[in-house]
Amino acid sequence: MKIYNKNRLGGVVMDKEIALIDSNFFENVSEVLAKARKNAKTAVNLSMVYAYYEIGKMIVEEEQHGDNRAAYGKYLLKSLSEYLIEKYGKGFSVTNLKQMRQFYLVYMTDKIGQTLSDQFENLPTVDSGRKFFLSWSHYLKLMRIDNVDERHFYEIESVKNDWSLAELKRQYDSSLFERIALSTNKEKVYRLALEGQNIENPQDVVKDPYVLEFLGLKEFPEYSESDLENRIIDNLQQFLLELGKGFAFIGRQVRFTFDEEHFMVDLVFYNRLLRCFVLFDLKIGELKHQDIGQMQMYVHYYDRKVKLPDENSTIGIVLCKDKNNAVVEMTLPENNSQIFASKYETVLPSKEVLKKLLEEQMSEEKETI
């Protein structure tokens, strides 16, 4: 075994600090890695996540032994890094070991929704009582989210929807948590952190705003509704990700005819969770009350002529660049649960602005209780 002494480390750590490292510490860490790699044939990433949590825990506990913890911790990480790189190769830099330590510190007392844990009964449980479900790359992203409720939401949604790391980053950058929270009541905001997003009624599938930065329209000072529709079709997979759970694409410019007059619905989807059609009408300008009236007619037609008897009522969403909420409220009936008007954004929203709006909304709801 290679010897790590103060000469190699520029005299940063005193002899007594060196002596404090248990002679079996390096080998114990090595055994954790060896065991994880043995199981890696069937679950490489997940096995390593549990291993990294355990290594992080071991580092934190070992750091408590030094009289000068800052100096001892620095020496410990550098020594362990050199040892593991020599034995296992790259992947164990001081920076990586710091991430493992931080991973443990973030999740050592963390709890996740019981509903999610119940779906993975065969996964091991760490000492804090929680399980891990995602890749190490996912957790590197998640543990940088300070808000615990928000972090839980993105973890649950990543598991439920099988998000790749790129999809997780995109949903976080588009402030999905804040946008859903702003569209619901206080009770459901708390549920987001425990269960993720549940689709139970039409309001649950509607976002306001929708973020369509992937269309690349911010580069164009002017574009038509046809341009908007074409870009959505060209980026249909990303648009489906933005729509959320349960959506399937049916068609574009779907024509129907009655009383010898032809009509076209811009985009038609079906949501298998709500078991209903979802119609989109695209508007590049400010919403007008006539636009809502037109969507009402589309929805009525689908409810009476298209949907099956055992399917639920059709949802209609007018997607517009701008809207006057007062006009929308006055045009629609008070008990409306089928027609919605949502804005779309062609650039990623400011998370800070949305967080401030969410805080204000939560504060207002608290005052009314």
DSSP 218: G
Phi, psi of 30 (to 5 degrees): -60, -35
Strand 339-345 to strand 276-286: parallel, antiparallel, or no bridges (unpaired)? Answer: unpaired
**Residue 94 structure tokens:** 């001081």
- Every domain of the chain and the residues it spans: 15-107, 118-195, 210-348
Residue-level pLDDT, tens digit, the chain, 369 residues: 444 444 444 444 445 555 566 667 888 888 888 877 766 544 667 889 999 999 999 999 888 875 566 677 788 999 999 999 999 998 899 999 999 999 999 999 887 765 665 667 778 888 878 889 899 999 999 999 999 989 999 999 999 888 999 999 999 999 999 888 877 766 777 788 888 888 889 999 999 889 999 998 876 678 999 999 999 999 999 999 999 999 999 999 999 998 889 999 999 999 999 999 999 999 998 999 999 999 999 999 999 999 999 999 999 999 999 999 898 989 998 889 999 999 999 988 888 888 787 777 766 655 555
- Residue 207, sorted as left (phi over 0), alpha (psi -120 to 50) or beta, turns out to be beta
Q: Where are the beta strands (DSSP E) in the chain?
A: 210-211, 247-258, 261-271, 276-286, 315-322, 339-345
Structural fold of domain 210-348: Trna Endonuclease; Chain: A, domain 1 (3.40.1350)
Helices (H), 174-243: 176-182, 186-195, 225-234, 236-243
Comparing CA positions, the residue from 309, 322, 324, 157 lying closest to residue 245 is 157
Rounded CA gap, 82 and 35, in Å?
Answer: 20
